[in-house]
Amino acid sequence: MFERFTKDARAVVADAVGHCERGGEERVEEAHLLLALLDREGSRAAFALTSLGLEGRRDTVGRDLAAARRRGGLTRADADALAGLGIDLTEIVSRVEEAHGEGALTPGRTAGGVRRSGRRLFTRGAKDLLGQSLRLALAHGDRHIGDEHLLLALTARPGLPSEVLADHGVTFTAVERLLWGGGEAKAG
């Protein structure tokens, strides 16, 4: 499938691996792909993110992702559901970090973060995202997967990246309308 990726989409995947390595994590996750998308300039995804107001907000998005990862990767909906059962997630995170150190609940962290082969593997969610980007590209009549399809797939999937993007006004509907939609001029 990687042969269907445009130069921009390949750069996003490579940069996601870099984010994973710098974070000392073992596996590339959807959040790493989002961070890599936020680093892009001059691509369709960069255009969409800028048009939707995310230009210059990479640090804020990164902090939001880090805060969610710190609570074990649970979304706000998960935290609200636990609160409904009388479980205070903030208190649990505080107690675990008190006993085991800050970031103890962060998924995917290892001592070295590198597998024996030296390559980072992708989580099931990240692999599914790449597959979904292909389906979205085909649904829009595109034969190749661009970084805009990666962004669209991130907004379509439930989880932390889509929640954080939605908090900043970047939703599936907004991205699709901006890049492909409703009789308006197409970007790119």
Nearest alpha-carbon partner for 152 in 134, 129, 175, 169: 175
Domain that holds residue 11: 2-70+109-180
Strands 121-122 and 27-28: parallel
- Per-residue confidence (pLDDT) for residue 104, from 0 to 100: 61
Assigned domain for 186 exists: no
Is there a domain that residue 125 lies in? yes
Q: Which pLDDT value is given to residue 86?
A: 84
15 occurs within a structural domain: yes
pTM of the model: 0.79
**Residue bearing tokens 């790449």:** 130
Identify whether 49 is part of a domain. yes
Average pLDDT over residues 8-20: 96
Tell me whether residue 37 is in a domain: yes
State the pLDDT confidence band at 114, using cuts at 50, 70 and 90: very low
Write out pLDDT tens, residues 72-92.
777 777 777 877 888 877 777
Q: Check residue 112 and give its pLDDT.
A: 42
Q: What is the CATH number of the domain that holds 22?
A: 1.10.1780.10
Q: Is 17 domain-assigned?
A: yes
Say if residue 122 is exposed, middle or buried (CB neighbours under 10 Å; 0-12, 13-18, 19+): buried
Query: Of 48, 12, 6, whose CA–CA distance to 126 is shortest?
Result: 12
What domain count does the chain have?
1
Per-residue pLDDT tens over the stretch 17-63: 999 999 888 899 999 999 999 999 999 999 999 999 988 788 899 88
